Each structure stands twice: as C-alpha cells, then as structure tokens.
Amino acid sequence: MRSSDTLTKISPALVKAINAIEGVKKGADNPFFKSKYANLESVIEAAHGALEANGLAVMQGPGPMDGNCITLTTRLIHESGEWIETDFSLPAGKMDPQAAGSAITYARRYSLMAMLCIPAVDDDGEGAMPRTTKPGEPKNPNVSVHPEGPDWYKTEGAGMSAAKAKAEGLGELVNQWLGDLETIPTVSALRDWADLNGDTIRTMPKGWRIEVREAFDRRGRELGAM
C-alpha cells in the first residue's frame, strides 16, 4: 500500500466514510451458487454516498501487462490532494479482451471492498480455497451437486441447423470458446463468460450447446464450483 506524504486530512475523512458505509446489497445471480452475490455496481452504489459526503473519490485502472497477469491499481483520493492506493494482481487466463475484462471487473470489485472494509457477501473465490469433503458431497454447502446453471442450460429445441451455424462462422467461435473455457481463472470470470455469450449459445445447434455446456461444467468443477 502506498500513500501521499501526508495523511492528516484523508485519514479522518476515510474513517467517517468507512463507518457510514452499510452492507452491500446482493443483487446479481451466481449461476453456480444458490444465492445472490454483490456485483461491482452494487459495491460502487454502497460506497458512493459515504465517499462523496466526506470529500473522497475512487480511481481504478489496470497497468501494463506482465505475461498474462493483470495488475489493477485502486486509489482513494481526498479533495485535499492526499491519497492512498494499493495494487491487486491476478492471472487473466487466455489473453483476449473478454478474459482481460472479466479479470479487471473481478479485481475492481474485490480491491474496492478490501480498501473500504466492506464485508464480502459472495463466495465466487471459493475455488481458490482448499476443502475437505466426503465423497459425493458438494465442495460448498451452498452448491448443488447438480446446479441448474445459467438460463441457456435449459434452452429447448434443436436450434439452428449445423449447416447454417457453420456458414455464419459459429464453428470457429465454438472452438475459441472451448479454448477460453479451459483457462478462465475464477468462478466470477466464468459467470461473466456465461452472461456475455448466453444469447449466442441459445441459438446454436443442440449438439453444439451440449458440447459448450460440458466444457463449462468441467471448468466449473475444476474451479471448485460444483
């Protein structure tokens, strides 16, 4: 953690702001857990009023890439010019805009919650934690052995024909997805992937949807979500 040379004005302002911030409202669905989680928007909403009332603001931005690692800097700024900042680094899996965007969103949310002492109300980092369970039991009591998954899991019908899907270049897209799914780093990023691509998956031939679902399930199990 780094800071400006003086902290005489930002310190009391930050104490007041942290004491005024209430719990984060759980507003988004996690496709793996039978619960809601606090997304980035709800964290910002929870913090904004208290920060503004005390002359504070937040800046967040990614720095240069180091291999497939993204580092996000979060800086709390006081109207006096004093500041406090910290970095959060994490791997982004396959380096494409989607993976990078998911990693940045994840880092922004957790960095802001950590700096402002906001309690975490979700558990999408569960896959990083070692667990001891009995055979056949889910790794987390909130996880169904057979989770329903995102809404595109239940898409009925054959979808478009394979010929039409190939003509539209969807075969190459599926191949890219299968590679992407193997390297998605967190359950949070996997959820973002499902939200981003769900509309397209629903239109695909049934066999293709099954293949994507199997890869999605496999990565979920590897991350400890099932």
pTM, whole model, 2 decimals? 0.53
Q: Rounded to an integer, what distance in angstroms lies between the CA atom of residue 46 and that of residue 112?
A: 11
Q: Give the pLDDT score at 193.
A: 81
Residue 129 pLDDT class (50, 70, 90 cuts):
very low
Each residue's pLDDT tens digit, 24-41: 655 554 444 344 556 778
Question: 127 pairs with which residues across the strands?
Answer: none
Q: What percent of the chain has pLDDT over 90?
A: 20
b/e sequence 193-215, b meaning 16+ C-beta within 10 Å: bbbebeeebbbbbeebbeebbeb
